[in-house]
Structures are given as structure tokens and as C-alpha cells.
Amino acid sequence: MRILLVGAGGVGTAITRIAARRPFFDHMVVADYDLPRAKAAVAALGDAAARFTPARIDAADTRAVTDLLAEHRCDVLLNATDPRFVLPLFDAALAAGADYLDMAMSMSRPHPERPYEEVGVKLGDEQFARAGAWTERGGLALVGMGVEPGLADVFARYAADELFDEIEEIGIRDGGNLTVEGYEFAPSFSIWTTIEECLNPPLIYEKDRGWYTTEPFSEPEVFDFPDGIGPVECVNVEHEEVVLVPRWIPARRVTFKYGLGEEFIGALKTLHAIGVDRTDPVEVRTGDGTVEVSPRDVVAAVLPDPAGLGERMHGKTCAGTWVKGVKDGRPREVYLYHVVDNQWTMREYGSQAVVWQTAVNPVIALELLAEGVWKGTGVLGPEAFEPRPFLDLLVAYGSPWGMREQ
């Protein structure tokens, strides 16, 4: 298997470090807009760098990506960029005859009149709209294959297959107790993506009602996270699992709640009230005349790079899937989860916990595809595949998952 990894940011760099220890692939091209960043990711692999080649690419340029896939005879494109580049990369893979994986799906657009009640264009809609072309070509686009979405969807399928006869609700719940020394405000994941998912109208699925939206930060609940993390207040957030899970798993209700914390929610509300969450460019006067910039890109530029915060970070992050339903005629409730300790990821991989936890999952998926354990055609979510081999391989990668019967 020859892989084109697009994006050598936090997650992309962690992907190279995880993949470098696995023999399942022949070569990985590490491409980034910023060539020095791609080179640094490869150079950091030391003796293992031989299977990796850095390259420069503009992820928005479908033609250039198609050419790069052909030039390196890549079988698969792994997208580790932010959601703005999903469609051009997805189209490039289709055009080049390569398979495709991503960890976030094509972007949503709110309902023009009733944004906090009805869905407009949903996450991934534009990818699923092209499913016919993928099926026709016999290619596979495995979408939403990070941790959330990704592992959380694998957990949902596992629960449906092995733990429940009937499912009432599947609720993805994400929380942690990470702190970053020396910063008043230092998000542990891409602020661009965090703003996108937290300020968009949260998405909820109900069998009788279909998909609908609410006001941001709705339905706060305190969820008790395992492994010493403890109770964290979680709120509804727009996330791919709510789109993906109901396509393959019968559940009466699907939600996603994120343990943002009151302070972080306040900061996001302020950014939105002021308008610096905007992505459309504004004109700004500088010493050298007027320039156009996207305010959200400026917010990202002033904040520390989350991938570089590992040394100052303490604590654990937890991703998981809470499932409520019936098994053998009795009510059952479980939380399937994956906890990662920053101390462990820093020691083992030099990557901070949140980006490492995202990165490990697409590498496992690629390994299952390379070995023919997972196969499929069309545009498929993680829940379209057998969950057991994935969960076993996660343990083999040194990062066990857990289950709490509640």
C-alpha cells in the first residue's frame, strides 16, 4: 500500500509517528502546503524515515493533488487537513482512482431561515451525494475515520452487534481533564475546527423526526468520565457521528455532547458575538496597504499551535460512546471509551494526547484495509465495517479501550 498523507500539522505528524512503527504499508508521501513542515515531520522519524517522502501541496487544488497521487502511484489518500479541504481532496482521490480516508467530513451550511430548528446542508451531505461515482468506480471513501467521528462509530457498531438487542439512544460523549501550563487560553485541538463544530447549530437525530438542530451549547448535562477524569459538563455540538450512526445502526436517538467547560463556552460565545469566528475575508489596513484575511485564521494564528503544547500539558482525554437500550429483555446502559494520557503519548510518541488519539485510528483503518480485513466500495462510515478487528488492533497498538456497564 502506498499512501498520500495530506496535512503535516499536529494530527498528520502524529500519523507519521504511529505509522512508522507498522510494516503494513510500502510508502507514505507526507504533503503539506508548508514544505518545511512536511520535511520536519519526516526528519523527526529518524531511521524510520526511509518509507516517507515529504512533498508540497495546496490541498485546495484538486488537479495538483490528483497529479501527486499519480506521480507517487498512491493507492489511498489520507486527509489530515481541516474540513475546508475535504471536497477538493475527496474529488482528487476519486479522479486519481485512489481510495480516500478522512477524519472530518464536508462542511454543513445552516438552514437559511430556521438555522436552530431545521437542518440545511448536513455534514458529509456533499460527500454522500457523490457515493454513486465511488461505487461505480469500485473505490472506497472511508469517511469520518478519526476518533470522533471514527472510533466512536466503531463503538456504536460494536454495541449494536454484540451488546444490545434494541437501542434507544447512542450518545457520543467527549471530555477530559487536560490543562496547559502557562496559558490562559490554549485549546488542545485545532481552534478552526473547534469553532466550526461548536458554533454551528448542534445536530440531533431522532427516528421519528429525522435530523434537526438546536441553539449552540444546548441540553447541558454532567457526564461522569472514567479513569479518574470525573464529572464534566457536556453540551450538544454538531458532529459527524450524528449523521453517520443512523445510516447503519438502528437507534431511536443519536446525539453528540462535548465537555467544553463553562469558560471555554464563554470564550466561544464572545468570539462569535464579536465576529472573529467568521471565515469570509475582511479587509484590514496594514503598514503595507490593505490585505484580506479570514478573522478565524487570525484567531488560529495568535493561539499557540495545539500540537506543540504536549510538554506543558497534563491530564487525560476521553472519547466514547454511551449506549442505552435493551439486551435479553432487560434495560442496559454502557459507555464504551478510549482514554489517552498525555504523559504516555508524549513519552511514547512525542505527540500530545488529543492529536495522537485522533491520529491512531486512521492508521489502524489503513492497516485493516491493507490486509483485506476491511473492504468495501462507495462512501462508507466506520460503522459499515466489522468492529472487532479494529478494537483488537487498537489494543495491539498499545492503547486499550474500556467498557463501563452503568
Contact flag: residue 349 with a second copy (CB under 8 A): no
DSSP strand pairing (203-206 vs 253-258): antiparallel
Residue 351 phi/psi, 5° resolution?
-120, 145
Q: Which is nearer to a second copy, 113 or 283 (CB)?
A: 283
Comparing CA positions, the residue from 66, 72, 6 lying closest to residue 37 is: 6
Residue 269 phi/psi, 5° resolution?
-65, -40
- Characterize 302-324 residue by residue with b for buried, 16 or more Cβ atoms within 10 angstroms of its Cβ, and e for exposed: ebeebbebbeebebbbbbbbbbb
Out of 267, 346, 373, 403, point to the residue binding a second copy (CB under 8 A). Answer: 267
Q: How far apart are alpha carbons 380 and 230 in whole angstroms?
A: 34
Q: Which is nearer to a second copy, 29 or 271 (CB)?
A: 271
Q: Which is nearer to a second copy, 292 or 328 (CB)?
A: 292
Out of 265, 276, 373, 403, point to the residue binding a second copy (CB under 8 A). Answer: 276
Start-to-end CA distance of the chain, whole Å, equals: 42
The stretch among 85-93, 129-137, 205-213, 275-283 that binds a second copy (CB under 8 A) is 275-283
Site string for a second copy, 47-76 (x = CB under 8 A): -------------x----------------
The stretch among 156-164, 279-287, 376-384, 393-401 that binds a second copy (CB under 8 A) is 279-287
Contact flag: residue 87 with a second copy (CB under 8 A): no
Site string for a second copy, 185-224 (x = CB under 8 A): x---------------------------------------
Q: Which is nearer to a second copy, 46 or 273 (CB)?
A: 273
Q: How far is CA 388 from CA 120, 241, 349, in A?
A: 35, 19, 25
- AA identity, residue 65: V
| C-beta separation of 237 from 218 below 8 A | no
Q: Which residues bind a second copy (CB under 8 A)?
A: 33, 60, 184-185, 266-267, 270-276, 278, 281-288, 291-295, 297-299, 301-303
